[in-house]
Amino acid sequence: MKVLVLGGSGYIGSRLCAMLADSTWVSAVSGSRRATASASTVRVDSTDAASMKRALRGMDAVVNCVAGSAPAIAQGAHVLVQAANEVGCQRIVHLSTMSVYGAFEGEAHEDTPRDPSIGWYAKAKCDAEDAIAAFATHGGSVVMLRPGCVWGPGSELWVGRIGRLLHARRLGDLGAAGDGWSNLVSVDDVCAAIVASLGMEARGAPLVYNLAAPDSPRWNDYFVDLALAIGATPVRRLSPRQLQFDARLASPALKLAQIALTKARRGSRHLPDPLPPGLLGVFERQLHLRGDRARQALGWRCTPYTEVLRSAATWFMSNDPVRTGAAQRTLQVPPT
């Protein structure tokens, strides 16, 4: 099966392509905006219909891992569906997100109503889902995956950034503000679910699966576990006041500085990470993403949390040699 991986240079896409390189039944082509064309890569602008059609020609399936701006996500999905129809590509595996459940709290199953009201990202992802779902009603095969927070070695969002904020004592134990479920799912497990989805036949209506590790903890537990593993100790207890100050005052300034430096073509790597208010919303939201359906239908199994934690912490420290010394002195505290 010939598969185009859109967003192939991203965190999930690149990992998927690496995994598929060893596959006996799938040959993958990585498509991204910045790629230079080769046997296994193709340059594609997901908002441009012609470029999309060229990339899709001859493909049996496409995996949509496109991230980025709202147009790239929402409009990109429309362009993809249209191009797939035109070139006769019959199969889409679309990577959505748990953000489509919006402000919902409680146990989120696949039939929980969606809520696009909490920001541009949720809105764009809901739009993208709708576009892709229409492909299924026209006879295409669609599997939609809604992962929680995708982490593991190399995850800037959920390991790199969190680790730096822990070292800066801007994250720690947040009390009720960090009591939400993390819904972490490892990048390798997401890729395994994508591969399993490629083998699913889904005519008529899209198949939808949540992806979250059943043993993923609440955010506070993750913060403490990661802090201990990378030597960001003693863990600090933060008050809602401090968090709000950081998110509402410091973070906008940092974000602006980041944008300015990027525009001026200077690296913004050494800038502290912003802690946007939306992220605080994620930390306190009591949304428990249930992945039971994927486990039953796809035979999907997750890597144990502690194992992913270990490899993620190792990656963090190898990227941050200054801290390695400190971390080696960390204590082996028994896990709970």
Contact residues for another protein (CB under 8 A)?
A: 105-107, 172-173, 175-176, 179, 213-215, 221, 224, 227-228, 233-239, 284, 286, 290-292, 295, 301-305, 330-331, 333-336
> CB neighbours of 172 closer than 8 A, spacing ≥ 6?
166, 223, 224, 227, 235, 236, 237, 238
Cα–Cα separations (whole angstroms), residue 127 to 23, 86, 207: 32, 21, 17
Closest CA to 117 of 107, 126, 105, 106: 126
Q: How many CB atoms lie within 10 A of CB 89?
A: 24
Q: How many CB atoms lie within 10 A of CB 36?
A: 7
Least separation, in Å, of the C-beta of 170 and another protein? 14
Rounded CA-CA distance 124/216 in Å is 26
| Residue whose CB is less far from another protein, 72 or 238 | 238
| Residue whose CB is less far from another protein, 94 or 170 | 170
Contact 186, 303 (CB under 8 A): yes
| Residue whose CB is less far from another protein, 175 or 276 | 175
Rounded CA-CA distance 48/243 in Å is 41
- In the chain, the amino acid numbered 317 is M
| Residue whose CB is less far from another protein, 35 or 326 | 326
| Residue whose CB is less far from another protein, 86 or 215 | 215
Counted residue by residue, the chain has a size of 336
Q: Where are the alpha helices (DSSP H) in 88-176?
A: 120-137, 161-167
DSSP designation for 235: P
Least separation, in Å, of the C-beta of 122 and another protein? 19
Least separation, in Å, of the C-beta of 141 and another protein? 27
Least separation, in Å, of the C-beta of 150 and another protein? 17
Least separation, in Å, of the C-beta of 282 and another protein? 14
Rounded CA-CA distance 197/194 in Å is 5
Least separation, in Å, of the C-beta of 270 and another protein? 27
| Residue whose CB is less far from another protein, 5 or 243 | 243
Least separation, in Å, of the C-beta of 329 and another protein? 9
User: What phi, psi does 217 have (nearest 5°)?
Assistant: -90, -175
| Residue whose CB is less far from another protein, 12 or 229 | 229
Closest CA to 132 of 124, 142, 123, 122: 142
Helix (H, G, I), strand (E, B) or coil at 209: strand
Helices 321-328 and 305-318 cross at an angle (nearest 10°) of 130
Least separation, in Å, of the C-beta of 105 and another protein? 5
Least separation, in Å, of the C-beta of 310 and another protein? 15
Place of tokens 């401090």: 242
| Residue whose CB is less far from another protein, 79 or 294 | 294
| Residue whose CB is less far from another protein, 236 or 323 | 236
**Sign of the alpha-carbon torsion through 317, 225, 283, 218:** positive
